Amino acid sequence: MKRIVLIHTVKSVYDSFEKDLRAVTGDIKVYNIVDEFLVADPIERGFFTIENRMRLMHDLQSAQLTGSDLIVVTCSTLTPHVVAARPFFSTPIIAVDDAMCTLAVKEGSNIMVLATAESTVGPTLQKLEEEAALQGKKIQLSSLCCPEALVHLKAGQKAKHDKLVLDMARQVKNNNDTIVLAQASMAHLQDLVQAQTKIRTLSSPQLCIQEVSKMLEAIR
């Protein structure tokens, strides 16, 4: 039986991701690592420390030591560090926003990134720029962030979080043709944001799960 390790930094994503993954992939073994410090520390400090990079490397090593076929990191803040870590591991590692950023650049030219963690904004913009370079495409990027929404989410106040995200989405300009929800914890608002703004809106979890399913099919 194929096995996957999921590395999370937010409890709400831990609560939902495995269930959604199993709905697509069927009978697999799934192990979860939850390390909230990986994202809490850069939010507090404003940057990602060398010590935190080492912590991520240890989490990835622990995941690989399970004998997993695939490792999935579900936090967008970690994406640049996941990309840097890949050459040091034999197990394939997927970043949660790989597929989303590829699709956003393929379909959009003027992309707005919405986030609730400031630590996610830079990595997401960087990922989109790198993807645009790979696709040989010129894009325009902008971003909005509402840290207060994340505070409410961590306090278990999901309704307040959702209201603040939707309020933020109302600030998106009509010249944007694509909205990217930068964190998996915002994904449940994808349809509402799209209906409210009338702009194509993308989130990472389902696109990531589709990518995982394809990779598992390719593994014998």
Domains of the chain, each with CATH number or no CATH: 3-96+206-218 (3.40.50.1860), 98-204 (3.40.50.1860)
- Condensed to tens digits (0 to 9), the pLDDT of residues 192-214 reads 999 999 999 999 999 999 999 99
Whether the CB-CB separation of 104 and 202 falls below 8 Å is answered with yes
What single-letter DSSP state applies at residue 100? H
pLDDT band at residue 154 under the 50/70/90 scheme:
confident
pLDDT computed for residue 220 by the predictor:
67
DSSP assignment of 93-155, as one string?
A: EEETTHHHHHHHHHH-SEEEEEES-HHHHHHHHHHHHHHHHHHT---EEEEEE-HHHHHHHHT
User: Residues 33, 63: contact at Cβ < 8 Å?
Assistant: yes
Each residue's pLDDT tens digit, 10-45: 888 998 999 999 999 888 999 999 999 998 898 888
Task: Convert the pLDDT of each residue in 103-126 to its tens digit.
Answer: 999 999 999 999 999 988 999 999
Q: What percent of the chain has pLDDT over 90?
A: 83
Query: Which pTM does this prediction carry?
Result: 0.88
Residues 89-102: pLDDT tens digits? 999 999 999 999 99
